[in-house]
A and B are shown apart, each in its own frame.
Chain A
Amino acid sequence: MSSILEALRGAAWLIASGDATLVGIILLSLGVSLSAVVFATLLGLPLGAAIAVGRFPGRKAIVVLLNALMGLPPVVVGLVVYLLLSRAGPLGTLGLLFTPPAMVIAQTLLILPIIAALCRQAVEDAWIEYEEQLRSLGAAGLRAALTLVWDIRYSLLTAVLAGLGRASAEVGAVMIVGGNIDGVTRVMTTTIALETSKGDLPLALSLGIVLITLVILINAAAYWVKDAAQRRFG
């Protein structure tokens, strides 16, 4: 019990003092995860919408695969990206391994299926309501898909938040492709894992508190935006 109190006291002190290492780690974490969310959103929303609206052979198999990929283990994504970016790999010449961009790539791949699958479901539900009207007006295919995505944009926020939650919480992928290099690729989750095993509980705990607080704040802001928009636009 006393060790928890001690860790909490230390964590409070670290957070209050605005420790430079701590701030650096937090900023890198946010930068990596938010970048991944932006890329995965830009790719995932049109992809999910296209699958929702499209009618092509193998569509059902793709839907099942996409849903299954939501549970992709981060370490496996990390391993695949590691193989692609390693010196001998097909993208090795880019020299990205153990850099923040590699971490962004890994997290983007990790959360792309989550955002695409949730978007697919939301757009498909909306399509049932809108289909005849849009086809009557002459909107089909990609055009119809983009109209739907824009029209249910506030509902899709939930899909994006699910992606963000996954990205900010995972350790495996960023650990493998980032390497957890102090001051370069060390993020909140990898630091927590490392410091806990080293026994520096105050640093680990303070990062845990910051991580959870940030996730709650982001979700609260998103909820507020969605709520306000729904009251305004119906």
Chain B
Amino acid sequence: MILPLALEDLSFVAGGRTIIEPLSLAIKAGPSTIILGANGAGKSVLMRLMHGLIAPSSGTIRWSDPDPQWLRRKQAMVFQRPVMLRRSALANITYALELARVPRAEREALAFEALESVGLPHLAHRPARVLSGGEQQRLALARAWALHPEVLFLDEPTASLDPGATREIETVIRAFDAAGTKIIMATHNLGQARRVGDEVLFLHEGRLAERAPVADFFARPATTEAADFIKGEIPWA
């Protein structure tokens, strides 16, 4: 187990601009966590800090298991725009498994299993780059899922998809959540936060403004920033 994750006085400054103001929080296994906020609130940056893609300007990120090899192996991330290699859908997944040092003999079976979990087994041998946007994003989920991560980071995974594809992605995410994977997802979509999330971390201009269970957050936002965000967003959600 690499969870819980503890962030202490974590901040991130780029080019003299503070993107994340010092924040401390603990993230436990179990409830799916939604990082909610407007564009530019620092959602993606916070997620990249947690995942280790960028280094904090100050503060620490502590997982309960400090072994770096294991840390990589136990986390996966799905980005807003999936980056697929120019090979088949199946080969994109076996590539990830190879990097995770899964023995060669087991890779293909695991990859097929992952493709089935996102409903794409029939596209296994199609070149990944010619799949539709929604299919590519599901493939990205399958690639992450094949690693059986303990923590799955999702950075606005449906921001560039149509409503139908968005629903499909959300269904897959909820299934992964139900299977016991810790979901940490950034979104600015309130409907999605409600449908997928258990708790909300609300970021406002680089500051952690509020943390609350989803139902409480929407019913009784504790800060005016959160209340404004909910009000402002509802017509387009």
Interface positions, chain A 111-156, Cβ under 8 Å from B, are: 129-130, 132-139, 143, 147, 151-153
Query: What's the minimum C-beta distance from B48 to chain A, rounded to whole angstroms?
Result: 8
Across the interface, do A234 and B86 meet the contact criterion of CB distance under 8 Å? yes
Q: Mark A146-170, 1 if CB is under 8 A from B, else 0.
A: 0100011100000000000000000
B73 touches A136 (CB 8 A): no
**Contact B83 A234, beta carbon cutoff 8 Å:** no
Question: Could you say which of A132, A134, A138 contacts B72, with CB atoms under 8 Å apart?
Answer: A138
Q: Is B130 an interface residue (CB 8 A)?
A: yes
Structural contact, A130 and B83, CB atoms closer than 8 A: yes
User: Given the interface contacts A129-B83, A133-B83, does A138 sit within 8 Å of B100 by beta carbon?
Assistant: yes
Tell me whether A136 and B85 are in contact in the complex, defined as CB-CB below 8 angstroms, given that A233-B129, A234-B130 are known contacts. Answer: no
Chain B window 151-182, contacts with chain A (Cβ cutoff 8 Å), 1 for yes, 0 for no: 00000000000000000000000000000000
CB of B99 within 8 A of chain A?
yes
Residue of B nearest to A152 (CB): B86
Interface string of B52-94 (1 = CB under 8 A from A): 0100000000000000000011011101001101110000000
B121 within 8 A of A: no
CA distance A138 to B96 in the complex (A): 8
Contacts of A153 in B (CB 8 A): 86
Please, what's the 1-or-0 string for B112-146, where 1 marks a CB less than 8 Å from any CB in chain A? Answer: 00000000000000011110000000000001000
Chain A proximity of B197: nearest CB distance (Å) = 22
Instruction: Say whether A198 faces chain B, with CB atoms less than 8 Å apart.
Output: no
Count how many chain B residues have C-beta atoms less than 8 Å from C-beta atoms of the other chain.
Answer: 23
Q: How large, as a class, is the contact surface on chain A?
A: 10 to 19
Please indicate which of the listed interface residues B53, B75, B76, B86 has the most CB atoms of chain A within 10 Å of its own CB.
B86
Contacts of B53 in A (CB 8 A): 132, 135-136
On whether A151 and B85 interact (CB within 8 A), knowing A132-B53, A136-B53, A138-B100, the answer reads yes
Q: Is A55 an interface residue (CB 8 A)?
A: no
Q: Residues of B contacting A138 with CB < 8 Å?
A: 72-73, 99-100
B78 to chain A, nearest CB (A): 9
From B77, B82, B99, B130, A139 is in contact (CB under 8 Å) with: B99
Contacts of A132 in B (CB 8 A): 48, 53, 77, 79, 83
Please, which residue of chain A has its CB at the minimum distance from the CB of B128? Answer: A234
Q: What is the bound-complex CA distance between A136 and B75, given in angstroms?
A: 8
Q: Is A136 a contact partner of B127 (Cβ separation < 8 A)? A: no
CB contacts (< 8 Å) of B194 on chain A: these are none
Q: How far is the CA of A152 from the CA of B86 in the complex (A)?
A: 8
Q: How far is the CA of A134 from the CA of B72 in the complex (A)?
A: 12
Q: Contact: A234 with B99, CB < 8 Å?
A: no
- Using Cβ atoms and an 8 Å threshold, which residues of chain B touch A151? 85-87
For B130, give the chain A residue with the smallest CB separation. A234
> Is B51 interfacial (CB-CB < 8 Å)?
yes
Q: Which residues of B contact A133 (CB under 8 A)?
A: 79, 82-83
List residues of A whose CB falls within 8 A of some B CB.
129-130, 132-139, 143, 147, 151-153, 232-234
Return the 6 tightest CB-CB contacts between A and B, nearest first. A234-B129, A133-B83, A234-B130, A233-B127, A138-B99, A233-B86
Taking Cβ atoms with an 8 Å cutoff, the residues of B that contact A are 48, 51, 53, 72-73, 75-77, 79, 82-83, 85-87, 95-96, 99-100, 127-130, 143
27 CB contacts below 8 A, A to B, read A129-B83, A130-B83, A132-B48, A132-B53, A132-B77, A133-B79, A133-B82, A134-B83, A136-B75, A136-B76, A137-B95, A137-B99, A137-B100, A138-B72, A138-B100, A143-B99, A147-B85, A151-B87, A152-B86, A153-B86, A233-B86, A233-B87, A233-B127, A233-B130, A234-B127, A234-B128, A234-B129
